[in-house]
């Protein structure tokens, strides 16, 4: 049986209709997507866990009126996606904070999405669920404490069937020194520990007096998973979430990279890079543009972090359109690097995804969330060629039978050629121009589904990230102002 251990912590696959402490204020609701990566219909089951270990194996995962529209377990066709919104479970699942374990008899992937409502102001974030590979350390290259009002909410899940002690070590900015330790904290089976940095004193980790923006490591004697959900205070409502790393690589890829894109907000992407290996490494960051490449480099000792903000650190990098840039992070041969790409604009939107390794790529990529004006949400996906030669990819959009979206049979087409190391950005918000050019059909309004991307020619592998924005939420402040934007990693096979 394939088991996806989907983190569901405080702000994740959790319905939190009670106020949260620290940086996470207000009322939070969550949903999660499950996509079947296998070749046959899957039987999928979901169990929710409270922080104290209490399990909730609900019989129904979605009600329409008083009728159960999605039983637990449920059947999921090959290549299909199901969205589970915790608010639609009703009284079967009490308002609380949960972790989630999703199991199936076919390979699956899961993505969590969350919305916080603080007195009519909204936070939004998404992250990719993690599988239990027996990992006992999770690396967080960018964690924050009072950094220009940013704070982290670290959520760590016990993936074992017994109690487990978890510890978090924070590292002094730009150094290999442990500057603060939290824990050990005993966490019940399949449950989670939530650590809000705003409630901590991390002044010993702040190198230059502007708050802490550095690395952290979560560890235990058994299998764990971790995410870092980051929000701002002081009247702004930025939020970004990412999944912790299991391991690093000497080459990382960032398919979606912005420098002054989408005026007047002007999106810019920063990078948090961490060397998690036992040896020092020289690191070169290359930003690919339509006119060539711009580079920056540094040396990183073991467990040392590096923050790059291009408007300051790469002043020669020109401004380009949203779909014209990608980045490559290269260390010495055998180096163990991890990185996150953070994008934000002046209109109070922010999003984060994990930089990708060749091993995380594949011949097939599952995209769990594809939307066109679904409650105002639109997606774009950036497909990056991680291989040595040009390739063509095949995009197949799933059918949609979700009762809250337009019913559509789905469609498919071949992309344009993608050069080695380059990324192809596809926008679903206009129905996908390339799909229309190939088939005469567009993704319909109010559609939400999934997509499978496969290599049809070329070596590969490929990988992808998904960016989502909500136009009415951002432009019209409907239902309220805030960060109507998220980003997450697709799942490669």
Tens digits of pLDDT across the chain (493 residues): 344 433 332 323 333 332 333 345 566 677 888 888 888 999 999 999 999 999 999 999 999 889 999 999 999 998 788 888 888 888 888 888 888 888 888 888 787 776 666 666 666 677 777 777 778 999 999 899 999 888 998 989 999 999 999 999 999 887 788 999 999 999 999 999 999 999 999 999 988 788 998 899 999 999 998 989 888 876 677 788 888 888 899 999 999 898 988 777 788 999 999 999 999 999 999 998 888 889 999 999 998 889 999 999 999 888 877 778 889 999 999 999 999 999 888 877 888 899 988 888 899 998 888 999 988 889 999 999 999 999 999 999 988 756 666 789 999 999 999 999 888 999 999 999 999 999 999 999 999 888 999 999 999 999 999 998 887 766 677 777 777 888 888 888 7
Domain boundaries, the chain: 2-131, 251-358, 361-492
Query: What is the DSSP code string of 89-134?
Result: GGGGS-SS-EEEEEEESS-EEEEEEEEEEETTEEEEEEEE-EE-S-
CATH number of 251-358: 2.60.290.11
Q: Is the dihedral of CA 363, 276, 342, 26 positive or negative?
A: positive
Q: Fold match between 251-358 and 361-492?
A: yes
Other residues' Cβ atoms within 10 Å of the Cβ of residue 161: 10
In order of 364, 490, 491, the CA distances from 361 in angstroms are: 8, 10, 8
In order of 142, 417, 453, 463, the CA distances from 460 in angstroms are: 29, 12, 12, 9
Q: Is 22 left (phi over 0), alpha (psi -120 to 50) or beta?
A: left
Is the whole model's pTM more than 0.95, yes or no?
no
| Residue (of 493, 490, 396) closest to 452 by Cα position | 396
The CATH T-level fold of domain 2-131 is Hypothetical Protein Tm1070; Chain: A (2.60.290)
The CATH T-level fold of domain 361-492 is Hypothetical Protein Tm1070; Chain: A (2.60.290)
- First CA to last CA distance, the chain: 17
Residue 480 contacts residue 382 (beta carbons within 8 Å): no
Sequence-distant (6+) residues with CB within 8 A of 66 are: none
- Look at residue 406 in the predicted model and tell me its pLDDT: 76
Burial class (CB in 10 A: 0-12, 13-18, 19+), 416: exposed
Query: What is the DSSP code string of 138-175?
Result: EEEEEEEESBTTEEEEEEEEE-SSS-EEEEEEEE-TTS
Strands (DSSP E) contained in 6-54 are 27-36, 42-50
In order of 3, 459, 462, the CA distances from 394 in angstroms are: 27, 14, 11
- Look at residue 366 in the predicted model and tell me its pLDDT: 86
In which element (H, E) is residue 392 found?
A: strand 392-397
3-class SS shares of the chain: helix, strand, coil, % to 5: 5, 55, 40
DSSP 471: H
In whole angstroms, what is the distance from residue 252 CA to residue 314 CA? 19
- Look at residue 459 in the predicted model and tell me its pLDDT: 93
């Amino acid at each position: 049986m394939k088991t996806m251990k989907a983190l569901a912590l405080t702000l994740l696959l959790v319905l939190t209709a009670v106020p949260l402490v620290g940086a996470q204020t207000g009322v939070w609701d969550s949903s999660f997507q499950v996509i079947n990566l296998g070749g046959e219909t899957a039987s999928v089951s979901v169990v929710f866990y409270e922080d104290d270990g209490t399990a909730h194996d609900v019989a129904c995962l979605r009600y329409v009126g008083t009728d159960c529209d999605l039983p637990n377990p449920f059947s999921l066709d090959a290549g299909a996606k199901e969205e589970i919104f915790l608010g639609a479970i009703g009284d079967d699942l009490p308002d609380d904070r949960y972790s989630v374990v999703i199991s199936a008899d076919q390979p699956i992937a899961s993505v969590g999405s969350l919305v916080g409502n603080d007195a009519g102001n909204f936070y939004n974030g998404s992250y990719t669920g993690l599988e239990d590979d027996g990992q006992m350390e999770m690396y967080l290259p960018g964690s924050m404490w009072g950094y220009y009002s940013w704070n982290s909410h670290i959520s760590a899940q016990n993936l074992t069937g017994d109690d487990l002690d978890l510890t978090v070590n924070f590292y002094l900015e730009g150094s290999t020194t442990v500057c603060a330790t939290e824990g050990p904290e005993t966490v019940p089976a399949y449950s989670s520990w939530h650590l809000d940095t705003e409630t901590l004193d991390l002044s010993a980790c702040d190198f230059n007096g502007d708050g802490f923006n550095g690395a952290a490591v979560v560890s235990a004697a058994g299998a764990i998973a971790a995410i870092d959900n980051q929000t701002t205070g002081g009247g702004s409502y930025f939020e970004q979430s990412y999944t912790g790393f299991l391991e690093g690589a000497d080459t990382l890829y960032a398919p979606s990279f912005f420098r002054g894109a989408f005026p007047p907000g002007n999106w810019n992407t920063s990078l948090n890079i961490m060397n998690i290996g036992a040896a020092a490494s020289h690191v070169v960051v290359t930003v690919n543009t339509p006119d060539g490449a711009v580079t920056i480099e540094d040396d990183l000792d073991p467990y040392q972090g590096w923050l790059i903000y291009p408007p300051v650190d790469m002043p020669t990098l020109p401004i380009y359109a949203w779909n014209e840039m990608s980045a490559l992070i290269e260390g010495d041969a055998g180096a163990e690097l991890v990185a996150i790409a953070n994008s934000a604009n002046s209109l109070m939107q922010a999003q984060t995804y994990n930089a990708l390794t060749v091993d995380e790529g594949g011949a097939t990529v599952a995209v769990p969330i594809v939307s066109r004006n679904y409650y105002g949400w639109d997606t774009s996906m950036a497909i990056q060629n991680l291989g040595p030669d040009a390739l063509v990819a095949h995009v197949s959009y799933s059918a949609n039978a979700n009762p809250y979206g337009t019913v559509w049979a789905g469609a498919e087409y071949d992309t344009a050629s993608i050069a080695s190391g380059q990324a192809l950005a596809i926008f679903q918000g206009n129905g996908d121009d390339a799909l229309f050019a190939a088939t005469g059909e567009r993704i319909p309004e109010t559609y939400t589904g999934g997509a499978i991307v496969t290599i049809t020619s070329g070596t590969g592998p490929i990988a992808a990230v998904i960016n989502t924005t909500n136009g009415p939420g951002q432009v019209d402040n409907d239902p309220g102002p805030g960060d109507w934007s998220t980003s997450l990693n697709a799942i490669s096979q």
